[in-house]
Amino acid sequence: MNKGYAFGFLVVLLVVVLGFYVAYTGFTSSRDALRSEPTAPVATRVAQASPLPVSPAPTDTSTPFVLPSPIPGITATLTAAVPTATNEPGAPLPTDAPATASAPTEPPLTEPPATAELPTQAPLPTIAPPSNFQFRLEGPPAADSSYPSCCYLYGTVRDASGVPLEGVQVQAFNEWNQLPPAVTKGGGEAGQYNIPIGSDAVTWNLVVVDAAGNRISPQVPVQFDPNVANGYRINWQRTY
C-alpha cells in the first residue's frame, strides 16, 4: 500500500510540474506572437490647429490557448489578455485637420471726424450813394475849435463848379430828436448854413433834403463833443 501511495503521489507531482511547464511554454509563445504582429503606423501630425479627438481607452480581450498534454485525460488551458483598441463601427480613424493660416485682416480705414467749421461772417455790404443823389459830401466833417459860440453844426453848400448855392435845406437828427431843416443863406453869406444843437456829446446825422423833405444826399454821421470844439464843419457839393 505504501508503494502504491508513493507512486500515485509521484504521478500527481509529475502532472503538476508538467502543467506548469506547459503553461509557461504557452505564455512565452503567445508573447512572441504578439510582438511579431505589425503595428499600425502612427498618423503623422499635420498641424495643431485643432485639438486631437480623445480615443476610448483600450479594452483587454482574453484569448484562450489550449496546450497539449502528454498525459491522457489532462488538458492545460492558458488565457492571455491582449489589449485591443476599439473604435465605433464605421467611424474613420481620427486625423488632424490641417491648420489653415488666416491672413491678418487690416482694420477698416476710418475717415477722420469732420470738424465743424464756424460760419464765416459775410462782410457788411457797402451802401453806395444812389445815382439820383443830387448832393455829396465835399470833405470829411471837421471839428472847429475856433468857432465863437457853442454848439453848432455848420458848413457851405456849392454846385459842381464851386459856386455857393442859396436856398438848399440841410437837416440834422439823432436817435432822439429831429431838428427842422436849415436853409442856406444868400448875399454875403451865400451858401452857408448853421444848425444850433444841444451841448450833449451825441452822434448827429446830417442830410440834404428837398422841399418835400426827401433825402437827396447820403447820410453823414458827426460825433459831436463840446469838450473838443464848439462847432463842426460839414460842406456839401452838388453832383451835376
Q: What's the pLDDT tens digit per position in 135-186?
A: 999 999 999 999 999 999 999 999 999 999 999 999 999 999 999 999 999 9
The C-alpha cell at 230 is 464848439
Q: Is the predicted pLDDT of residue 96 greater than 50, yes or no?
A: yes
Higher-pLDDT residue of 94, 47: 94
| Burial of 222 per CB tally in 10 Å (0-12, 13-18, 19+) | buried
Lookup: cell for 199: 451841448
> What distance in Å separates the CA atoms of residue 136 and residue 239, rounded to the nearest whole number?
7
Q: Is a pLDDT exceeding 80 seen at residue 224?
A: yes
Over residues 30-51, mean pLDDT: 55
CATH of domain 135-238: 2.60.40.10
What integer pLDDT is reported at residue 29 of this predicted model?
75
What phi, psi does 28 have (nearest 5°)?
-65, -40
Mean pLDDT of 17-35: 75
CB within 8 Å of 202: residues ≥ 6 apart: 174, 176, 224
Using 50, 70 and 90 to split pLDDT, how confident is the model at 122? Answer: very low
Give the span between the Cα atoms of 81 and 117, in whole angstroms. Answer: 88
Q: How many of the other CB atoms lie within 10 Å of CB of 158?
A: 19
CB 49 within 8 A of CB 98: yes
- Domain limits of the chain? 2-34+58-84, 135-238
pLDDT band at 12 (very low <50, low <70, confident <90, very high): confident
In one letter, which amino acid is 202?
A: V
Tell whether the model's pLDDT for residue 17 goes beyond 90.
no
Distance of CA 148 to the CA centre of its chain: 73
Say which DSSP state 187 is in.
G
**How do strand 169-173 and strand 192-196 relate by DSSP bridges?**
unpaired
pTM, full prediction: 0.47
Helix, strand, or coil (residue 127): coil
pLDDT over 80 at 215, yes or no: yes
Residues constituting the chain? 240
Is the pLDDT at 44 greater than 60, yes or no?
A: no
Task: Give the Å distances, CA to CA, from 200 to 140, 194, 208, 226, 230.
Answer: 21, 17, 23, 7, 11
pLDDT at 125: 38
Q: Is pLDDT at 26 greater than 70 in this prediction?
A: yes
